[in-house]
Structure 1
């Protein structure tokens, strides 16, 4: 559990402790600000950056540099389906479901407020998510979720007529569907751009004079090795997803499983008069359907295990294979998708966490011991978010930011740091 902030030493003492534990001479806080490097500009990286700014004392000089060779949302985060709800497809409420949900919803609101009326299209589509029960095992698991649902994100059982009122002609073979009215569908790229803007706005708010205070900068640079950051930063946090394993210092030392997923974009042809209802929810099943409006949707996702291909570019052959896999699954729930036309596809390489007795949990913690040697800064990892990065990123980004600022890994639940004890 997260320790109460009152159990921590005073802020200034924490930062002095962080500096004096190193081999190099301590640097006075009056001489320069703390400097952190955030590697990766997806869900994880931007959440950590926001919380480093938000959680640090207002009078603390702080500079945050984000490094990403593509830019905001250039990796798997930017091509995710964007469906946000706190429930496991296996029927178990996540251990920290309430915290994860609360913090992710908070970040969505922060991003929307930062974008204001300047956003080109929606950031968060609040139409709920619907999941029909397709077999008896599925029905029992979802009933378990209904019994243990969060008050802030209800899951309720509805019959076939109610489900088809939301989505005409929806297939409901067991006469039961599970509706989450507070669940949302986000546009990943717009959300990440807006969260980056929120970080910039927070820096301006905390540094009104333009001198000292907080600084925040994005660098579109390739990251070749961690040692390139030695001597420049007080802390480095690795939020690179599957690419973390490509760093020479970490290669083969992380218990990550990689999986490439292809997502298809479909549109309703102009000559089709019957649009998807504006109030209609997105759909979860063997293939998910994330509606972007009345005439646009994303369908996903494929699972190509052990792939090392992180390119977002999808070839014609890969697109064809993905459609052959996804369309039968999607049409078995929503037959109307057969009237929609394929426009393009995109892909991302997910970093899937290891299987543990506690489930498949992300990887958090300080990796100084894994790197070995005597370094001039602390190195941290926030990875293995898998297919649930949107749900995890808010709360876990806050946890690792607090741990970095305090130089105290014990602020992170031990289940999330236990991966370091697994022999590779």
Structure 2
């Protein structure tokens, strides 16, 4: 049951809303007269990356049909303007940092559901055919060390039915990716793993949120709205009283907020990925059926003549710009190409075509693995406020896997105003003095 109501009546919206650099009108403008006595809720979601758009979707999807709900997504850069937009896009549920396996399974299933929703939306609107949402060719991981072998063997023995892991020898690996190097004559193939185009996925997911708001408004008494505002937030308390709940989904940028500075157990890490393409005078291509490659440097295939390779790791960086200088790009290539060549020697034939970067928020390592940070943060901010403040951050390098299910949990907690719907493993990061008794 909802335990709070809107502090401010929602009236017809007159502010301009920016989406993908264009001025648009709101999806739904609440009438100030037709439903004046109907309960309404306003939510602010800070951040338009994996976390923020997952929370926005689930806030709409799980809201009561008789409530008027407005979700405002705020981001100073734009949809996918942070680390999410330049992620590698390699989606699979296996990592020594993801424990327990039941949590990985739930994350995997919910991400596949959101991915399907985004693909359906993209197809329905006939979006740019040159940008794919998901490339379903699997992921191949050559074994390069005994430690690597041990971890992958364990994963293979406990693999999910919906994402199998097959151990194959060098000949079988080369039938998938010609000329691939398999130093220990063993590779692990995940045929059900997916290579997602992050920017295309995020833009399609936001459009799906707009469609959902329209559909829910047409079939229920409570109007639903979602709006994107290209807006910088310098202080959380700027939003005090304007919204019933504010959900901070800013990733590494969460640590820049004065109210949260020095209070979150997050480490920042800037990662650079390189875009490579085959020169026009090169006839050899990456085969259409070939999977992407996961190793010390991952290789995410875009099409037979384009790929992304990543990623570098620059700890304690505070630069969250996607722009990469010529010097940065040169150093990144010096680091990435030798690692990629160790498993895919033919990458030496590919030409550099640009680089982008993202500032990741890396979660702390605990006995339960490296898990994101979720929960209510009113006590971190201090004093008593009309708005409720929540946090969903620390996706690290596994944002694609985590974002959908954890966004669903966050939305459930916000809607019910009950943090207990979130597993304790995800809220135990806070000091005991501010945790719920």
Tell me what 1:11 maps to.
none
Match of 1:240 among 250, 266, 277: 250
User: Residue deviations 1:102-158, cap 9 Å, x none?
Assistant: 000000000000111323321100000000001111111111110000000001101
Q: Which residue of 2 aligns with 1:200?
A: 210
**Mapping of 1:397-412 within 5 angstroms?**
397-412=407-422
Q: For residue 18 of structure 1, what is the aligned residue in structure 2?
A: 4
Residues 93 and 148 in structure 1, CA contact (< 8 A), matched pair in contact too: no
Aligned ranges for residues 23-42 of structure 1 at < 5 Å?
Answer: 30-42=37-49
Q: Secondary structure at the match of 1:418?
A: coil
Deviation at 1:59, TM superposition (A): 1.9
1:122 equivalent to 2:122? Answer no
For the Cα contact (< 8 Å) 1:19–1:26, is it kept in 2?
A: no
Within the alignment, does 1:316 sit opposite 2:326 as a pair? yes
CA contact (8 A) 1:36 1:233 kept: yes
**Structure 1 residue 51 corresponds to structure 2 residue 61:** no
Partner of 1:368: 378
2-structure distance, mates of 1:125, 1:86: 16
Name whichever of 46-55 and 93-102 sits farther off. Answer: 93-102
Of 82-91 and 390-399, deviating more is 82-91
Shift of 1:372: 1.3
The count of aligned residue pairs is 407
Partner Cα distance (1:106, 1:229) in 2: 32
Aligned match for 1:149, one of 159, 176, 179: 159
8 Å Cα contact 2:5/2:41 also seen in 1: no
SS of aligned partner of 1:36: strand
Out of 171, 177, 180, the residue aligned to residue 181 of structure 2 is 171
Greater alpha carbon shift after TM alignment, 287-296 vs 168-177: 168-177
User: Could you say what secondary structure the match of 2:287 adopts?
Assistant: coil
Q: Give the direction of change, closer, same or farther, for the CA distance of 1:422–1:348 in structure 2 (3 Å limit).
A: farther
The CA RMSD measured in Å over matched residues stands at 2.1
| SS in structure 1 at match of 2:155 | helix
Change (3 A) 1:34 1:91: closer
Name the residue aligned to 1:97: 104
Alpha-carbon distance change, 356 to 155 in structure 1, aligned in 2, over 3 angstroms: same
Shift of 1:420: 0.8
Q: Structure 1, residues 380-403: CA drift from partner, whole Å, max 9, x if none?
A: 000000000000001000000000
Greater CA drift, 130-139 or 42-51: 130-139
Instruction: Please give the residue correspondences for 1:63-82 in structure 2 after superposition, counting only pairs within 5 Å.
Output: 63-82=70-89
How far has the Cα of 1:95 moved from its partner?
Answer: 4.6
Q: Matched residue of 1:162: which SS?
A: helix
Deviations 1:40-90 (CA, angstroms, capped at 9, x unpaired)? 000000000000001112221100000001110000000000000000056
SS in 2 for 1:102: helix
Match of 1:306 in 2: 316
- Aligned-partner Cα distance in 2 for 1:153–1:108: 15
Query: Which has the larger displacement, 372-381 or 52-61?
Result: 52-61
Matched, 1:392 2:406: no
Q: Kindly state the Cα deviation for residue 29 of structure 1 after the two structures are TM-superposed.
A: 9.1
Q: Tell me, yes or no, if the aligned pair for 1:353 and 1:363 is still in contact at 8 Å.
A: yes
CA offsets, 1:203-252, max 9 Å, x none? 11011289951011000011111111111110000000001111111111
Indicate the residue corresponding to 1:266 in structure 2.
276
Contact 1:361 1:385 in 2 (8 A): yes
The corresponding residue for 1:381 is 391
Aligned partners of 1:90 and 1:45: how far apart in 2?
Answer: 22
Any idea what the Cα deviations from partners look like across 1:259-313, whole Å, max 9, x if unmatched?
Answer: 0000000000111111110000000000000000100000000000001111111
Structure 1 partner of 2:368: 358
> Are residues 1:108 and 2:120 paired?
no
For the residues of structure 2 that align with 1:210 and 1:418, how far apart are their CA atoms? 38
The residue matched to 2:42 in structure 1 has which SS? Answer: strand
SS of equivalent to 1:252: coil
For the structure 1 residues 91 and 113, does the alpha-carbon distance in structure 2 shift closer, same or farther, using more than 3 Å as the test? Answer: closer
- For the 8 Å contact 2:273–2:355, the answer to whether it is kept is yes
Distance 1:31 1:298, change over 3 A: same
Unaligned runs of 5+ in 1: 1-13
Distance (whole Å) between structure 2 residues aligned to residue 166 and residue 30 of structure 1:
62
- Quick one: distance in 1 between partners of 2:257 and 2:139? 38
Q: What secondary structure is seen at the aligned counterpart in 1 of 2:282?
A: coil
